[in-house]
Structure 1
Amino acid sequence: MADLRLVLDEAAQAALISPETSEKLLPFLMDRGVIVKEGFEAAQSQRPHTLAEELLSVEPDTETPRFVRGFHDILITIGVVILLSGLWGIASLYVVLPAIILLSEVLVRRQRLALPAVALTVALFVWTANLMVMWFPINPDFLAASHFPIPLLAALPVASGLYYLRYRVPLSFALAVMAAFVFAVNLFIRVVAYLGDDPSFPLNNLRLFSVILLISALCLFAIALYFDLRDVRRQTLRSDIAFWLHLGTAPALLYSVLGVWIGGISLLGQDHGYSTWLSAVVVTVAAMMLIGLIIDRRAFVTAGLMSLGVAIYGVFKQGNAGVDTYFYLTLLIVGVIVLVIGIGWVPLRRLTLRLLPHSLSERLPRAL
C-alpha cells in the first residue's frame, strides 16, 4: 500500500495541484477511507509463496517516519548542511537566518522535501540557541536554578513553533513542545529557588528535582500518546509528530526515573556502586521496552539502549576487565538485545496485546 501523503506530494511537485490543496486533500480523503494500492503489491499478495519465501519474508513495518523519501533528499540535505556550515564560518550569525528561511521556502514549502526540512529545522533551533547565548551568556554553575537564561529558553519554543506554523514540519512542532516544557520546568525551579532562598535548589534537592523532571516527562509522554492514538494507522502528520516526541521523551523518562530511584546521585556522576546503577537501568529499560511494545514504538525502546550499554560498560570496567574485554562485551550484550527486539518485535507484540484487555488493545495499532 502506497502512502497517500506521498502521492499527493508528488502531485504537488508535478504542479498538478498546489501544496495548499495537497494539505487540505489529505485529511479529506483519509476521513473517507481512501487508500492507494500498487498493482505489483496486489499481484504479489495473490501469488502462492514457497516455504523458503515464507521463512525469508519480512514483516511489514508499522513505524516508518517520513523524513527520508529517496537519495535525492539525502543529496539535497548534504548540500544544505555544507552550505550553512560554510556560511556560518565565514559570515555573521545574522546572515545565516535569511539563508535558512530562503532554503525553507524553496525546499520545504515549495518542493516538500522531508529530510532537508529536518536539517533546516535543526539549523534554526541551533541558530536561535547561539543567538540567545551570544546576547544572554549562560551561568557557568550547571546545577544552579538560573543556569540557562530565560530569554534562551523562551526563544526556542517560539522559533520552532513559528517554523511549524509556516512549513508544517513535524520535528519543529515536537521541538516546540519539548522546549516549552523545558522553559516551564526551569521557570518553576526558579520560582521555588527564589521562594526558598536557595539558588542551588537542584543540587540541594536532587530527589525532588528528579520528581519534577519525571512529572514533566510523563506529561510529554501523554502528549506523544495523544498524537499516536489519534492516528493508529500511522498515515498522517500526527504519527510523525508522535515519533519525534517519543524519541525525545524516552531519555527524559529514563533519567528522571533513575534520578528518583537512586536519589539523583547518578546525575552527578558520583560512584554509588555500579551494581545499583545497573539494576536501576535494567529494570527501567525493561519497563520502557514493554511500553514500546504496547504502543508499537521502536523509537521509544531504542532511546534507552545507549544508557543500558553505558551501565554494562561501567560494571565490566569496575570488575577490572581489560579495556578490549569490557568494551567488546558491552557491544556484544547490547547487540544481542537489539537483535532480539528487532527480529522478535512482531510476535512479541502479538503476545503482549493478547494479554491486554480487549477494550485497550483495540485502541492501539494492530499487531501484524
Structure 2
Amino acid sequence: MTELRSILDEAARQGLISPEAGGRLLPFLSERGVAVVGPQPIRAVEGDAWSDTETPRFVRGFHDVLITIGVIVALGGLWGLAALYAVAPAIIVLSEILVRRQRLALPAVSLTIALFCWTCLLMSHFFPPWTPTSQSFGAEATQFVAGFPIILVAYYVRYRVPLSLALAIMSVLAFVLTLLLRLVQWASGNPAFFLDHPVALALVSLVCALGLFAMAIYFDLGDRLRRTTRSDIAFWLHLGAAPALLYSTVFLLSFGEGVRIFDVGNMSSRTPAVVATVAALMLIGLIIDRRAFVTSGLLSLGVAIFSVFRQGSATVDTYIFTTLIVVGAIVLIIGTGWMPLRRLVLRALPPAIANRLPPG
C-alpha cells in the first residue's frame, strides 16, 4: 500500500496525473489487488535493460516526426511573414495542443527550441549582448541572459518539457558567468581585464562548465535506472556540459592563446590539449554511461586530427578523408565496445562509487 502510494505521488509530481486522480486511484487499485513488484523482479528488469540505456525518449515514432516537420515549416513561414511578437502566441497555442493535450515528445522539443530562439531574438532586440567596439563585459550581456531562465522556467512549469528545464539551468549558469565576469572586472578596476588576462577568463568559464556538469550528475544520480524525466533532463545537460568543459579546458591549457577553438589555422598548438581533453571526456562518459557526453566532443576531436594532418605534406583530399577515417574508427570502436569497456572501468572503481552509477 505504501509503495503504491509513493508511485502515484511520483506520477503526480511529474505531471502524469493530477494529485486528485492519484488520491482516487489508490483505493481503486488496492481494492482490485494491484501490488507493487518486489525487489527481485526489479533487479531482473534492471539487468535486461542495459543493452541500450540511452534511448532518446523524444523519438517515439514517425507520427511525431511528421508533426514536428509541420511545426517547423509552419513556424518558419510565420517567422518570415509576421512580426516577432506574433510567433510567441503560435508557439503557446501549438504547445497547448501538441504538448499539454497530446503529449507528443518530439514536437515538444522542437517547440522548446523555437521558444529559445524567439527569446534570443527578443532579448537581443532590447539588450544587444555585445558591440563591435566593446572591450569589456557590460550590463547588456547580463540583461540579455536574464530573460532566458524566466521564460524557460515558466514554460517548464506549464508543459513539463525536460529540455526547457535543462536550457533554463544552462541559462542560469550563463547568467552567473556574466555576473562573475563583471565582478572580477569591477574588482580589478580594468574594463579590459579579460583581454589582458585571458587565463582568468578561462578559469571562470571552467568553473561554470563544472557547475553545469555537476547539475547533470545530480539529475543522473537521482535516477540511476534511467526511468524518470530526471534522466531526460540529465541527457540534455550532458549535451551542453561536454562542449563547455572541452572549450574552457582547452582554452585554459593553451594559456588563453586564442578563443576560437575551431580556427584550424591556429589549431596546431592546441591539438594535444584537444586530444587529451576529449580522451578524458570519453572516459568520463564511460563511467557515467552517457554516450551523449562522448558524442559532444567528437567534432572538436575531428578538428584536432584534421589540423595534425594539415601540418604535413598531404594534399587537401588526403587529410580530410584521413580525418574522417580516424574519427569514424574511434566512434565505431567506442560504440561497439561500449558495454565491455564500461565493465572494465566499473571494476576499477571503488564499490561505493560504482554502486551509485548505472549497472554495467
Change (3 A) 1:178 1:59: closer
Shift of 1:140: 2.2
Aligned counterpart for 2:96 among listed residues 93, 105, 120: 105
Shift of 1:272: 9.3
Calculate percent identity across the aligned residue pairs: 54
Does 1:186 find its partner at 2:183?
no
Aligned counterpart for 1:308 among listed residues 301, 305, 311: 301
Aligned counterpart for 2:211 among listed residues 192, 195, 219: 219
Q: Secondary structure at the match of 1:20?
A: coil
Q: In the alignment, which residue of structure 2 is the partner of 1:358?
A: 351
Does 1:92 find its partner at 2:92?
no
Q: In the alignment, which residue of structure 2 is the partner of 1:167?
A: 159
Contact 1:138 1:149 in 2 (8 A): yes
Does 1:322 find its partner at 2:315?
yes
Change (3 A) 1:143 1:359: farther
Does 1:336 find its partner at 2:312?
no
1:109-152, Cα deviation, whole Å (9 max, x unpaired)? 11110000000001111101101111223422476313953322
Aligned counterpart for 2:53 among listed residues 62, 85, 104: 62
Contact 1:266 1:277 in 2 (8 A): no
Paired with 2:61 and 2:332, the residues of 1 have a C-alpha distance of 26
Shift of 1:85: 0.4
Q: Counterparts in 2 of 1:29-40, with a 5 A limit?
A: none
Q: In the alignment, which residue of structure 2 is the partner of 1:52?
A: none
Q: In the alignment, which residue of structure 1 is the partner of 2:230?
A: 238
Does 1:255 find its partner at 2:252?
no
Contact 1:274 1:318 in 2 (8 A): no
Q: Secondary structure at the match of 2:259?
A: helix
Q: Secondary structure at the match of 2:56?
A: coil
Q: In the alignment, which residue of structure 2 is the partner of 1:12?
A: none
Superposition TM-score, scaled by structure 1 size: 0.83
Does 1:127 find its partner at 2:110?
no
Aligned counterpart for 1:144 among listed residues 133, 136, 141: 136
User: What amino acid does structure 2 have at the position aligned with 1:131?
Assistant: L
Does 1:158 find its partner at 2:150?
yes
Paired with 1:196 and 1:122, the residues of 2 have a C-alpha distance of 38
Shift of 1:312: 1.0
Aligned length: 329
Contact 2:141 2:178 in 1 (8 A): no
Q: In the alignment, which residue of structure 2 is the partner of 1:54?
A: none
Change (3 A) 1:24 1:187: farther
Q: Secondary structure at the match of 2:51?
A: coil
Change (3 A) 1:33 1:244: farther
Contact 2:180 2:204 in 1 (8 A): no
Query: Hey, which bits of structure 1, 4+ residues long, moved more than 4 A?
Result: 22-25, 31-35, 268-275
CA RMSD of aligned residues (A): 2.8
Contact 1:76 1:116 in 2 (8 A): yes
1:45-65, Cα deviation, whole Å (9 max, x unpaired)? 9xxxxxxxxxxxx97201122
Paired with 1:314 and 1:187, the residues of 2 have a C-alpha distance of 35
Which blocks of at least 5 consecutive residues in structure 1 are unaligned? Answer: 1-7, 9-17, 46-57
1:10-35, Cα deviation, whole Å (9 max, x unpaired)? xxxxxxxx95349986xx99x95589
Q: In the alignment, which residue of structure 2 is the partner of 1:205?
A: 197
User: What amino acid does structure 1 have at the position aligned with 2:234?
Assistant: A
Paired with 1:143 and 1:114, the residues of 2 have a C-alpha distance of 43
Shift of 1:298: 0.5
Does 1:265 find its partner at 2:244?
no
Contact 1:202 1:209 in 2 (8 A): yes
Paired with 1:136 and 1:268, the residues of 2 have a C-alpha distance of 24
Which blocks of at least 5 consecutive residues in structure 2 are unaligned? Answer: 1-7, 9-14, 30-34
Paired with 1:360 and 1:329, the residues of 2 have a C-alpha distance of 39
Paired with 1:281 and 1:23, the residues of 2 have a C-alpha distance of 53
Paired with 1:271 and 1:205, the residues of 2 have a C-alpha distance of 23
Q: In the alignment, which residue of structure 1 is the partner of 2:107?
A: 116
Contact 2:202 2:252 in 1 (8 A): yes
Shift of 1:170: 0.5
Contact 2:128 2:144 in 1 (8 A): no
